[in-house]
């Protein structure tokens, strides 16, 4: 789960991290009042969406008076902000963060993520902040300082020394940065984050460090331990079909392709997406209905697939173990009965009660294309797409 910058900053502040003074606003008058209250020479108005790259997309404005802050908020609120992370459809801005402006001397990067191959958190920092870390990692990896942190012993003062001196900071600066290193790590660890990032972390002209931006992504599996974080979920920022799927405990991720996929098991789902690409088509989603899916869950899953206008064909690829093929077939036929399905549906079933499953599909009255194997199924999907284009 993702949260907004202003929310991440509040969490970091509770860990001792320095952030600019400011508050969030949903209306222009509110923006004016907050800017007046801050009373600084420079005020920054920032669009709050769950995506980065806002600066370049026109979602961050630096102004000098409360009147100008009100005007900037008026321009940003309600705008459809397009950045390299939002996709071409962009995001409607519903909130702006009004903050005290900072005189920037240098922009640094600081982040903590899970390093899956080493099975522990890794802290990364660079003197060249502001830009995306992915780009930096690709083009100038030598400019990134990294420390892997043993989850059992946690973050220690020597980690801060290695990070700070690794960045080439002065001793006094390393001293000031300690709270950023330790605070960010503790926030990451205690809140069950997958990522916690400050980009840019700026060195001001007066020699202090401030977190100008903040981003935190949480492990959904840990949210039950953090009610206060789960409460920050902003449904406006999530794809409507993904929200619908999560209501039915379906593991669904929307993608941009044209083949709707219904699969059981994450591994088989990944393999199915791969094979769809191999035959020259593109998956429209990842959908794992899970081992213990009921006919009702399958029915909801299928409905989600067909309500995506991008879906031009459906590929059901099931290996029946705990999820029996007849349960799957019942769910799918119920969904087909309740809704108009006007795209071809290719089914590959294998495993428990496969004969019964196939019989149910056959007697449903709907024409399913049955494939003998996974590869054949993918090929039949590609074929169906080609003939529906003609």
Binding site for ligand GDP (CB under 6 A): 44, 46, 52-55, 60, 62, 101-102, 104, 107, 130, 199-200, 212-213
Q: Which is nearer to Mn ion, 213 or 288 (by Cβ)?
A: 213
**Interacting partner of 44 out of ligand GDP, Mn ion, none (Cβ under 5 to 8 A depending on kind):** ligand GDP
**Interacting partner of 54 out of ligand GDP, Mn ion, none (Cβ under 5 to 8 A depending on kind):** ligand GDP
CB of 167 to Mn ion, least distance (A): 18
Residue 199 found at the interface with Mn ion (CB under 5 A): yes
In the chain, count H helices and then E strands: 14, 18
CB of 151 to ligand GDP, least distance (A): 28
Cα separation, 21 vs 98, whole angstroms: 9
Cα separation, 177 vs 209, whole angstroms: 7
CB of 213 to Mn ion, least distance (A): 4
Q: Which is nearer to ligand GDP, 70 or 326 (by Cβ)?
A: 70
Catalytic residue among 6, 15, 109, 252: 109
Q: Known catalytic residue: 109?
A: yes
Cα separation, 288 vs 284, whole angstroms: 13
8 Å CB contact between 320 and 350: yes
Q: What is the 3-state secondary structure (H, E, C) of 283-317?
A: ECEEEECCCCCCHHHHHHHHHHHHCCCCCCEEEEE
**Interacting partner of 169 out of Mn ion, ligand GDP, none (Cβ under 5 to 8 A depending on kind):** none
Within positions 78 to 137, which residues make up the interface with Mn ion, using CB under 5 A? none
213, 288, 326, 379: which one binds Mn ion (CB under 5 A):
213
Residue 43, SS3 per DSSP: strand
Q: Which is nearer to ligand GDP, 50 or 312 (by Cβ)?
A: 50
Q: Which is nearer to Mn ion, 144 or 382 (by Cβ)?
A: 144
Residue 164, SS3 per DSSP: helix
Catalytic residue among 30, 70, 197, 379: 197
Cα separation, 296 vs 298, whole angstroms: 5
Q: Which residue has the tokens 């806002």?
A: 54
**Interacting partner of 104 out of ligand GDP, Mn ion, none (Cβ under 5 to 8 A depending on kind):** ligand GDP
CB of 84 to Mn ion, least distance (A): 12
The CA angle 191-192-195, to the nearest 5 degrees, is: 100
Cα separation, 270 vs 264, whole angstroms: 10
Residue 48 found at the interface with Mn ion (CB under 5 A): no
Closest CB to ligand GDP: residue number: 55
Contacts of 326 (CB under 8 A, 6+ apart): 353, 356, 357, 360
CB of 307 to Mn ion, least distance (A): 34
Positions touching Mn ion (CB under 5 A) are 199, 213
Supply the residues annotated as catalytic: 109, 197
């Amino acid at each position: 789960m993702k949260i907004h910058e202003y929310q991440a900053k509040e969490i970091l502040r509770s860990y001792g991290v320095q952030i600019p003074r400011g508050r969030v606003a949903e209306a222009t008058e509110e923006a004016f009042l907050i800017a007046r209250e801050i009373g600084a020479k420079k005020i920054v108005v920032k669009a709050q969406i769950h995506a980065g790259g806002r600066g370049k997309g026109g979602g961050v404005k630096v102004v000098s008076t409360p009147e100008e802050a009100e005007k900037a908020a008026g321009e940003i609120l309600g705008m459809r902000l397009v950045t390299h992370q939002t996709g071409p459809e962009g995001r409607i801005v519903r909130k702006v963060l009004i903050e005290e402006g900072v005189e920037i001397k240098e922009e640094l990067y600081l982040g903590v993520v899970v390093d899956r191959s080493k099975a522990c958190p890794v802290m990364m920092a660079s003197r060249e902040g502001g830009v995306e870390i992915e780009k930096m990692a690709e083009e100038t990896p030598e400019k990134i300082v990294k420390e892997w942190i043993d989850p059992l012993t946690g973050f220690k003062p020597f980690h801060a020394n290695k990070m700070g001196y690794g960045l080439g900071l002065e001793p006094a600066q390393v001293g000031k940065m300690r709270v950023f290193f330790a605070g960010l790590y503790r926030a990451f660890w205690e809140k069950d984050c997958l990522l916690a990032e400050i980009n840019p972390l700026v060195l001001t002209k007066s020699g202090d460090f401030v977190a100008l931006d903040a981003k935190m992504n949480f492990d959904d599996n840990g949210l039950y331990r953090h009610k206060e974080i789960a409460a920050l979920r902003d449904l406006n920022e999530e794809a409507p079909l993904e929200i619908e799927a999560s209501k039915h405990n379906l593991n669904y991720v929307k993608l941009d392709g044209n083949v709707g996929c219904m699969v059981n098991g994450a591994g088989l789902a990944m393999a199915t997406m791969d094979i769809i690409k191999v035959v020259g088509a593109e998956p429209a989603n990842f959908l794992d209905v899970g081992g213990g899916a009921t006919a009702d869950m399958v029915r909801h899953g299928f409905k989600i697939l067909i309500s995506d206008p991008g879906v031009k064909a459906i590929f059901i690829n099931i290996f029946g173990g705990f999820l029996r093929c007849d349960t799957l077939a019942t769910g799918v036929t119920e969904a087909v009965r309740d809704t108009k399905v006007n795209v071809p549906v290719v089914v590959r079933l294998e495993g428990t009660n496969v004969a019964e499953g196939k019989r149910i599909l056959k007697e449903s009255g709907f024409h399913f294309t049955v494939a003998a194997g996974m590869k054949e199924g993918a090929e039949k999907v590609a074929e169906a797409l080609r003939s529906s284009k003609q």
